[in-house]
Amino acid sequence: MLSRIANNLFWAGRYLERSEHLARYFLTHHYNVVEIGTQELQVQSYNSMFLLSGMSNIPSVDYIKSNENDVVSRLVLDRENYSSLRSTIHKCRENMRSARDVINTNLWESINKLYLVINNINADEFDIDDISSLCERILKETTVAKSYIDNSLIHNETWAFLKLGIHLEAACQVCRIITTKLTENDVYAETMNLDNTEAYFSLNLLKNTEALDMYRNQYKSLPNLRQSLEFLILEKNFPKSIVYNIEHIQSIVEKIAEMNGISRNGLEYHVGKISSGLRYTDIDDIPDDYVTYIENLLVDIHHIAAKLEERYFIY
């Protein structure tokens, strides 16, 4: 496989996964904005969306208050904004298009359909009420595309680099959602007059990662912070958890090395170390400063991407 194509596939996978996370995050927060009473908290919710999408120019509180439609449009539809949902999907498609000859028609058409769902929307005519139906469609189309990756491609290098991108991005996004939410928690605790702030916060965290139902299934109790983090970081059998995604990265990295007759070295060692670390960690082993722990984990995950690039993508 061409190094460039491997890189394109990796990034197509990353942007596909990122699109899904952004769409879910925006959807959950949209319902949140509708539900929560105070304007301060609504502004906080928009800030959270900006933070997760990685935008640098977060509008002022006053601007958000008086230009809600424009704010949503910037997050979702802005072509100029490199991190908007539209741009993310566009980049997913461009990378997939560069690798068009190595993927199949079903996958290509599903990605193209995902692109058309958002590309056909005129930002000037977009209404804030449309965001939920748009995000739901995007979630559906990303799921379809991911199912084509797993169920219609040969599990060769094409599949492997796409999946590497997906798992790596999934791990990154869950880390980022956790840190964003943990940071916000204090604001919520101060501002909202809730009987159980922790439960409310945990509920949101799990909703944002599509983990609530499975959490309930596992713990049979109201969400609390400790268990929520345990579930999202360390639950080996839950596809959204960090450990699940890191273990899959490990297995795919080894598979690619085997396919190409490459002896295992720095890349495999690094992934194996993170994977083993998570596998043998208990929630009680994690220090109370969860944010620092997750940020360090995120740095380790970024190192995986750098080592992948060094090994396979840079020629």
Partner 1 sequence: METLEVLNSVKSDEKLFFDEMFDENNNVRPYYSDIVDYFGGIAKGDFKRLNELTRANFFKQGITFAVYSDQNVGVERIFPFDLIPRVIPKHEWDTIEKGLLQRNIAVNLFIKDLYNEKKILKDKIVPAELIFSSSFFCREMEGFVPPSGIYTHIVGTDLIRHSDGDYYVLEDNLRCPSGVSYVLSNREATKKAFFSLFSKQNVMPVNNYTQMLLETIQSVAPSGVDKPTCVVITPGFYNSAYFEHSFLAMSMGIQLVEGRDMFVENNFVYMKTINGPKRVDVIYRRIDDDFLDPLCFREDSFIGIPGIMGAYRSGNVTLINAPGAGVADDKAVYTYMPEIIKYYLGEEMILKNVQTYKCENESDCKYVLENISNLVVKPVDESGGYGVFIGTKHTKAEAEEYKKLVISNPRKYIAQPVMNLSVQGTYIEGEDTIEPRHIDLRAFSLMGKDKNFVLKGGLTRVALKKGSLIVNSSQGGGSKDTWVI
Q: Which residues bind partner 1 (CB under 8 A)?
A: 1-4, 6, 94, 97-98, 100-102, 105, 108-109, 112-113, 116, 157, 256, 260-262, 312-313, 315
User: Which residue, among 21, 18, 48, has the nearest Cα to 32 in the 3D structure?
Assistant: 48
Judged by beta carbon, residue 13 or residue 223, the one nearer partner 1 is 13
Q: State the nearest-atom distance from the C-beta of 38 to partner 1, in Å.
A: 40
* Gap between the terminal Cα atoms of the chain: 12
* Cβ atoms of 110 and 137 closer than 8 Å: no
* Cβ atoms of 91 and 140 closer than 8 Å: no
Judged by beta carbon, residue 101 or residue 195, the one nearer partner 1 is 101
Q: State the nearest-atom distance from the C-beta of 237 to partner 1, in Å.
A: 31
Judged by beta carbon, residue 71 or residue 252, the one nearer partner 1 is 252
Q: State the nearest-atom distance from the C-beta of 23 to partner 1, in Å.
A: 20
Judged by beta carbon, residue 35 or residue 258, the one nearer partner 1 is 258
Q: State the nearest-atom distance from the C-beta of 93 to partner 1, in Å.
A: 9
User: Which residue, among 171, 222, 173, has the nearest Cα to 201 in the 3D structure?
Assistant: 222
Do you know the residue count of the chain? Answer: 315
Judged by beta carbon, residue 261 or residue 287, the one nearer partner 1 is 261
Q: State the nearest-atom distance from the C-beta of 307 to partner 1, in Å.
A: 14
Q: State the nearest-atom distance from the C-beta of 308 to partner 1, in Å.
A: 10
- Listed in sequence order, the residues at least 6 apart from 11 whose beta carbon sits closer than 8 Å to its beta carbon are 91, 95, 165
∠ CA 219-225-229, rounded to 5°: 75
* Cβ atoms of 111 and 128 closer than 8 Å: no
CA atoms of 164 and 53, how far apart (whole Å): 21
Judged by beta carbon, residue 156 or residue 183, the one nearer partner 1 is 156
Report the half-sphere exposure of 132 (CA within 13 A, side-chain side). 8
